A and B are shown apart, each in its own frame.
Chain A
Amino acid sequence: MDLDFLWTTFVRLIGGVPLTLQLAFSSIVLGLALAVLLAVMMRSWFTPLAWAADGFVFVFRGTPLLVQVFLIYYGLGQFRPVLDDMGIWWFFRSPYYCALLALTLNTAAYGAEIVRGGLQSVPHGQIEAARAFGMSGFTLYRRIVAPIALRQALPAYGNEIILMIKATSLCSTITLMEVTGLAHRIISETFRSFEVFFVAGAIYLAINFAMSRLIGLAEARIAPDLDQASRPAEVH
């Protein structure tokens, strides 16, 4: 192994990490907000609202993210006059915003299902018990539903976060120079695909290792009772 080459490759690829993280975290935050909205819509008594949310999830979960990225970037690019008239071309002109939109919509669809699952897992008895104590509406959600739903949903949502960090690599197809884009760039100059992808893979692995530790910590914090195995037995 040519350590010098691995090192210079590593240094160059690190330059793409801020963009990778920025794409991942912006889309995760925006996507989560949208996911909660969608999950609430799915449970709405007003059927058209539930249908709309179901339809959204169906479309964005059922098609590849790469296709979504291409449709939003190259597809909508062909409707420039219309978008110009609507005054939103500035948004679609930018590859960064197009990538962010595709990632956000995609993760929102998966996130909505995770949040819905979390909300459904709240036992009916606990809600009834809370009602019996006189809790209703927001208080009921804040004290009972949200904590239980969150601890149910977090492991699955942690998975989604990690998937999103990896999914940002698709943004290199629309000219964004994040870690994978830079890797392709270096390969085109050196033709050493194995070493370059090896380093790129290691960078993603390091980011996701840190991320999974953080998610693990968050899980242990909100649901300590579910995490007995990993902590020392209490001494009485």
Chain B
Amino acid sequence: MKITRLVVVAGAVLALGLTAFDASAQMRKVKVATEGAYAPWNFVNSAGKLEGFELDLGAELCKRAKFDCEFVAQDWDGIMPSLLAKKYDAIMAGMNITPKRMETINFTTAYAAGAHGFLVMKNSSLTKMPGGEFSLTKDPAGAEKAIADLKPLLKGKILGVQASTTNLAWAEKYFKDVAEIREYKTTEQHDLDVAAGRIDAAVVAHSAAKATMETATGKDMAIAGPAFSGGMLGLGVAVGIRKEDNDLKAAFDDAVKSAIADGTIKRLSEKWFKVDMTPKS
């Protein structure tokens, strides 16, 4: 008698435990932060909704990893501190992998990679800067030479850069001695100042610059000078995750790899950037 009761109770407890376990195994809730001011990576559309390459890709990655994802907008300058403060679990915000950031957070495999350079007005003397493509990782000597060639042309100019970006770290390292560098909270703000002529050039990712050039603000702008990539400019754009969340990183890693392998990233990047931004391994 007693034993049967015990068995019933134990069974009930077990059943309860199982259903609870089941529910949590079903779909893990993951909050993903993005900036919402970095077209075409991520931006707020006219309906007030987040949209862009990373929103499409994020939905795809979450589907593959079986996560129930929610995207939230977070100002760029607080995007890493708020991750550490557990306001959300992951960052997809055009954020490049850098050794400096890796000291604080972890990154998945890169899901996109692009070049960086200068955005200027079409009538600016800076459009005469020499072109070319340089990887700071593969050809550091060539990149240093190209930077040295730019220095005299940028002497006395004012450069605008978004704060806390790899572009800022790079511009400060190489051009601080010849040019004045001003920091902006968003890329939209330095675009406005390029248009107004308050600054001579913005140091930008080409992908974002191309999006600016399609807007009314940027219609008289052009990308000038060489295209730089790699090294301190970033080892590719990836999902940022807290160091301790290894299972989350593993799940996103697999999702990114499969999205690269089956051409999903190529398709989405051609949709949003008009070029293939798939990282070349």
Contacts and interface: CB of A to CB of B under 8 A. Distances in A.
Given A187-B77, A188-B77, A191-B84, A77 B185 contact: no
Contacts of A184: 77, 163
Contacts of A80: 196-197
Contacts of A191: 80-81, 84, 104
A93 B84 contact: no
Contacts of B164: 188-189
Contact of A78 (B104, B189, B195): B195
Contact of A77 (B84, B104, B184, B196): B196
A26 interface: no
A74 B196 CA distance: 9
B78 A193 contact: yes
A175 B184 contact: yes
A31 interface: no
Nearest to B160: A175
A173 interface: yes
Contacts of A95: 182, 198
Contacts of B189: 74
A185 interface: yes
B60 interface: no
A93 B198 contact: yes
Contacts of A181: 183
A78 B192 contact: yes
B193 interface: yes
Instruction: Place the interface of chain B in its size category.
Output: 20 to 34
Interface in A70-90: 74, 77-78, 80
Nearest to B100: A189
B207 to A, nearest CB: 21
Contacts of B192: 74, 77-78
Interface in A50-80: 74, 77-78, 80
> Among A80, A173, A175, A181, which residue has the most Cβ atoms of chain B within 10 A?
A175
Interface string B67-85: 0000000000110110010
Given A173-B185, A175-B184, A185-B163, A77 B198 contact: yes
A175 B195 CA distance: 16
A11 to B, nearest CB: 19
B37 to A, nearest CB: 14
B197 A175 contact: no
Nearest to B199: A175
A185 B183 contact: yes
Nearest to A176: B182
Interface string B168-208: 00000000000000111100010011011110000000000
B183 A187 contact: no
Nearest to B188: A74
A77 B77 CA distance: 24
Contacts of B80: 191
Contacts of B196: 77-78, 80, 93
A92 to B, nearest CB: 8
Nearest to A94: B198
A203 B81 CA distance: 22
Contacts of B84: 191
Interface in A183-206: 184-185, 187-189, 191, 193
Interface string A144-159: 0000000000000000
A67 to B, nearest CB: 15
Nearest to B185: A173
Contact of B163 (A77, A188, A193): A188
A26 to B, nearest CB: 20
A236 B97 CA distance: 78
Nearest to B163: A188
Nearest to A80: B196
A44 B26 CA distance: 74
Contacts of B185: 173
B232 to A, nearest CB: 13
Interface of B: 77-78, 80-81, 84, 104, 160, 163-164, 182-185, 189, 192-193, 195-198
8 contacts: A77-B192, A77-B195, A80-B196, A95-B182, A173-B185, A175-B183, A188-B163, A191-B84
Give 3 nearest A-B pairs by CB, closest first: A188-B164, A77-B196, A175-B182
Given A77-B195, A95-B198, 17 more contacts: A74-B192, A77-B192, A77-B193, A78-B196, A80-B196, A93-B196, A93-B197, A93-B198, A173-B185, A175-B183, A175-B184, A184-B77, A184-B163, A185-B163, A187-B81, A188-B77, A191-B84
